[in-house]
Structure 1
Amino acid sequence: MSFPGFRFKQVRVCSSSHASTQQGHEPLAGPRRNKSKLGCRECKAKRVKCDEAYPTCKRCQRQGLVCLSAPRLSQWQVETPWLSLQPKTHVNRRLLQYWLEKVSQTLVIDPENNPFSILTLEYIAQSPALLHAIQSVSANHEQYYSANAPIIALEEHGKAIACLRREINQSQNAPSAHFLTILLLALAQGADADATNYGKQHLFGARALINSMLLDTSMSTTNDLAVRLCLGMYLYWDACRNVGRYCRQILDSPQNRDLLQEAILESQLTTWKTSPPNPGLGHLYEAFRNHGLIFLYRARAHAQSSCLAHPDPSEAQESLIQQYAEEAVRHLMQIPATSNYLNFQSLPLVTAGSELTESNQFLRDQVRHRLRAIYSLNRLPASLLALQCLEEIWDSRDSGDQSYWLLHMLQNDRRLLLG
């Protein structure tokens, strides 16, 4: 299945000072200059030349800084005029273009095969809720360079919820648009700096909607690309949490440990084989495999430490956890910081990074740099909060406390939407 990209023929954008209310539009700037002046904030503040590498310039990468750069909009492959769009609500064309050319690209492995771009155009003409959700996410993503962006994002988020409630109550036959809207509302919620508010209610809503879609026998699950996208996203989301659900169960009730389920999960993770289309994806796959094994063994160690017969985890098990942690980080570091795979690294980075010991300062530094680069790309505060959690865990580990990331997060009432 392929979703080719496109570029815009004559794009007009909303005035940045009144992006959410004015109808007036201004043409984009003329042809790109050979020497752009879109340097990051750090370089501008220091009055030094910025190489404008995205998402992290070399100076920020070298100094371990968060690079607040303005991403350039890319040229796509097939021209599509704006006039073909006739949604039922006001379009902020600047935010919609920003979504199509930049933000949607961070949600996929391959930007040239992006179902969040062209596929969404059909539904935003039918669903104002989806359009407002997209504009909310875009405004959150671009807030480095617009003082009004957080206000616009909140306004669009509220409009999306109001429109979604109205569309669902009217029983409009657009479950795929509803699912995508709910998912993007959760993503927009993740832009909140509150570590306890990660859009959980929206994720539960997405699960309920998927269940109703599966019960609808009239819906084609093989030919409708939007339905396949929704089901695929749900399966990815659910599969990533398969090991996590069991580990959380053990954390809450160590006495309810299921040895058979542990053995099945361990066997699935250790024997799993794949043929990645390129080395980058291979490294990402292996990092997620190690993430699952670390998660499983750490839960097992927690259960054993709660049992009088096994007060301390075995040295062999701890050594194995360390091995998987180092392997996961090394796999992720084989992927360039400029790769589109960057946005999928947060979860294994946190899981593996939290297990690094004081003797692994080099790998800890690499994790720090990578999480800052991820934040420069996706603009989600969860990326920086994850780094803050890691620093706290490392301090505790260096002081002799063997707390691990999930236990630390729950004890500090933090919930982060990662991955």
Structure 2
Amino acid sequence: MVSSSFYPSTQQEHESIPGRRRNKSKLGCQECKTKRVKCDEAYPTCKRCQRQGLVCSSAPRLTQWQVETPWLSLQPKTHVNRRLLQYWLEKVSQALVIDPENNPFSFSILKHVSQSPALLHAIQSVSASHEQYFPAKTSTLALQERGKAIACLRREMDQIQHAPYTHFLTIMLLALTQITDSDPNDYGKQHLFGARALVNSMLRDTSMSTTNDPMVRLCLGVYLYWDMCSSFLVESCEPQGLDLFTISLAVHWMGDWHHPMYGTCSRLLFIIANIGRYCRLVHDMPQNRNLIQEAMLEAQLRNWMTRPQNPDLDHLYEAFRNHGLVFLYRSCAHTQEGCPTDPDVAEAQESLILQYAEETVRHLILIPTSSYYLNFQSLPLLAAGSELTKSNHFLRDKVRGRLRAIYSLNRLPANLMALQLVQELWDARDSGIPSFWLSHTLQKGWRLFLA
């Protein structure tokens, strides 16, 4: 047996080397640092913040793979802020996908950045705001980068050699920088309409293989998700500029192609976007209610099918489907307010809405908070969560915690505003005066883009 004296203990080693320090982790959240307590570094919400119902401000995690930054060898046509670009590649871009290992917005985007100063400046603007949690007063650096992106985009759109998908990605990021500004009534409408025009142009361009070009599919999928989250924000009297037939055809040809942002639910997003448009129409003009269109939209939702890659993705898709049903049913009930209705029919309708609302929230909370799928839950959490009654205190707590966790993950202020909204809606419901979340939001003058 070898004597332990030949192998000094770790404690002895530390004592024998004066001044030696233990490396401190930098992953603890700001709240624990402020209180000077140990953080368990759980992401996106540490256990202490979770227990106390606090918003957890922790550092974004890097992906497991880290490659040598290839952009060092690129020579884009404009000045590169390497810190902001790398921050985008390694951290911010992860909020746009369900799998960080399949992320076309990260290192894959560099070949487009090297040819598009507008895209580079848009990326740097988002990064500058993201690292400061999108403050109400946008930083000078973020505003400067946004201004440069807009100026460069105007020039690039006049030049034929620039690909339309770089324009689309730039517009998408400019919208993100705008919707995070302090005005809750601004959902980046001009950027949405600009993106819509570009998508229409790409799909009509017979020189582009719409069904096979991965960049066209990428842009179309991003637009579909964007449209789902904002279709109900556009006033019914606005010229929509929609080519629904062409988009519907393109969605059909996409089929179950796996989009890196959301997977295989392109058709489902398209259906829910159309439901949002219809709900806004009958909200603004109840006389335009169309029972045949409602039945068609409901049937499309119920009949939609896909093969998710894993159970968590299945939970997300079912939550989306149920959110669409809750949105449609609540909108119909809202148009009937003040009209004579059969009490039994009204009670059955309310029971059905609550059933689907509860199912929506249950599907979402089955997805771990550590999952990147968390980024895509805000809208169904608000819409379905607002329907929960006082007896659903467990699910209400889960909705609160989940919205805080989403904010900790993607830092978008709209998530905290959604938390405020849902609490106001619960208070109204508990007081016996329930309110439709869309109507309540519009009355407040808020046009929240919950991406």
TM-score by length of 1: 0.87
Matches of 2:357 and 2:366, distance apart in 1? 15
Matches of 2:207 and 2:168, distance apart in 1? 17
What is aligned with 2:252?
A: none
Aligned in 2, Cα 1:311/1:157: closer, same or farther, shift over 3 Å? farther
Most deviating of 177-186 and 79-88: 79-88
Matches of 2:215 and 2:124, distance apart in 1? 20
What is aligned with 2:40?
A: 51
Matches of 1:147 and 1:96, distance apart in 2? 22
Q: Conserved in 2, the CA contact under 8 Å of 1:304 and 1:313?
A: no
In structure 2, what residue type is equivalent to 1:303?
T
Q: Conserved in 2, the CA contact under 8 Å of 1:73 and 1:98?
A: no
What is aligned with 1:413?
A: 445
Find out whether 1:265 has 2:254 as its counterpart: no
Q: Conserved in 1, the CA contact under 8 Å of 2:378 and 2:415?
A: yes
Select 1:150's aligned residue among 127, 139, 158: 139
Matches of 1:272 and 1:222, distance apart in 2? 20
Deviations 1:317-336 (A, max 9, x none): 00000011111111111011
Report the CA distance between 1:348 and its aligned residue. 0.5
Instruction: Note the 1:53-92 alignment, pairs <5 A.
Output: 53-76=42-65, 78-92=67-81
What is aligned with 2:210?
A: 221
Matches of 1:161 and 1:341, distance apart in 2? 31
Q: Conserved in 2, the CA contact under 8 Å of 1:132 and 1:156?
A: yes
What is aligned with 1:305?
A: 337
Deviations 1:32-71 (A, max 9, x none): x875133211101111001112211111111111111122
Report the CA distance between 1:270 and its aligned residue. 2.2
Most deviating of 274-283 and 236-245: 236-245
Most deviating of 346-355 and 96-105: 96-105
What is aligned with 1:296?
A: 328
Identity of aligned pairs, percent? 74
Aligned in 2, Cα 1:246/1:149: closer, same or farther, shift over 3 Å? closer
Select 1:100's aligned residue among 77, 83, 89: 89
Find out whether 1:335 has 2:367 as its counterpart: yes
Report the CA distance between 1:223 and its aligned residue. 4.3
Matches of 1:122 and 1:341, distance apart in 2? 27
Select 2:158's aligned residue among 152, 159, 169: 169
Find out whether 1:244 has 2:233 as its counterpart: no
Q: Conserved in 2, the CA contact under 8 Å of 1:193 and 1:382?
A: no
Q: Conserved in 2, the CA contact under 8 Å of 1:198 and 1:417?
A: yes
Select 1:370's aligned residue among 358, 377, 402: 402
What is aligned with 1:360?
A: 392
| SS across alignment from 2:355 | helix
Report the CA distance between 1:361 and its aligned residue. 1.5
Find out whether 1:138 has 2:127 as its counterpart: yes
Matches of 2:219 and 2:92, distance apart in 1? 18
Unpaired stretches in structure 2, ≥5 consecutive residues: 1-21, 228-269
Q: How many residues align?
A: 387
Aligned in 2, Cα 1:236/1:144: closer, same or farther, shift over 3 Å? closer
Most deviating of 76-85 and 183-192: 76-85
Aligned in 2, Cα 1:285/1:98: closer, same or farther, shift over 3 Å? same
Q: Conserved in 2, the CA contact under 8 Å of 1:192 and 1:198?
A: no
Report the CA distance between 1:83 and its aligned residue. 3.0
Find out whether 1:284 has 2:316 as its counterpart: yes
Matches of 2:320 and 2:404, distance apart in 1? 20
Report the CA distance between 1:306 and its aligned residue. 4.8
In structure 2, what residue type is equivalent to 1:322?
L
In structure 2, what residue type is equivalent to 1:192?
D
| SS across alignment from 1:241 | helix
Q: Conserved in 2, the CA contact under 8 Å of 1:301 and 1:313?
A: no
Most deviating of 72-81 and 150-159: 72-81
Select 1:124's aligned residue among 113, 117, 120: 113
Find out whether 1:256 has 2:288 as its counterpart: yes
What is aligned with 2:423?
A: 391
Find out whether 1:318 has 2:364 as its counterpart: no
Q: Conserved in 1, the CA contact under 8 Å of 2:129 and 2:135?
A: no
Matches of 1:194 and 1:180, distance apart in 2? 23
Most deviating of 45-54 and 67-76: 67-76
Q: Conserved in 1, the CA contact under 8 Å of 2:134 and 2:412?
A: no
Aligned in 2, Cα 1:148/1:98: closer, same or farther, shift over 3 Å? farther
Most deviating of 109-118 and 319-328: 109-118
Alpha carbon RMSD of aligned pairs, Å? 2.2
Report the CA distance between 1:76 and its aligned residue. 2.4
| SS across alignment from 1:305 | coil
Q: Conserved in 1, the CA contact under 8 Å of 2:357 and 2:387?
A: yes
Aligned in 2, Cα 1:102/1:412: closer, same or farther, shift over 3 Å? same
Q: Conserved in 2, the CA contact under 8 Å of 1:305 and 1:312?
A: no
Deviations 1:271-323 (A, max 9, x none): 33332111111111111111000001011112222544669961000000001
Report the CA distance between 1:149 and its aligned residue. 7.7
TM-score by length of 2: 0.81
| SS across alignment from 2:186 | coil
Select 1:402's aligned residue among 416, 434, 437: 434
Matches of 1:140 and 1:272, distance apart in 2? 38
Aligned in 2, Cα 1:54/1:150: closer, same or farther, shift over 3 Å? farther
Report the CA distance between 1:77 and its aligned residue. 5.4
Report the CA distance between 1:155 and its aligned residue. 1.4
Most deviating of 189-198 and 397-406: 189-198
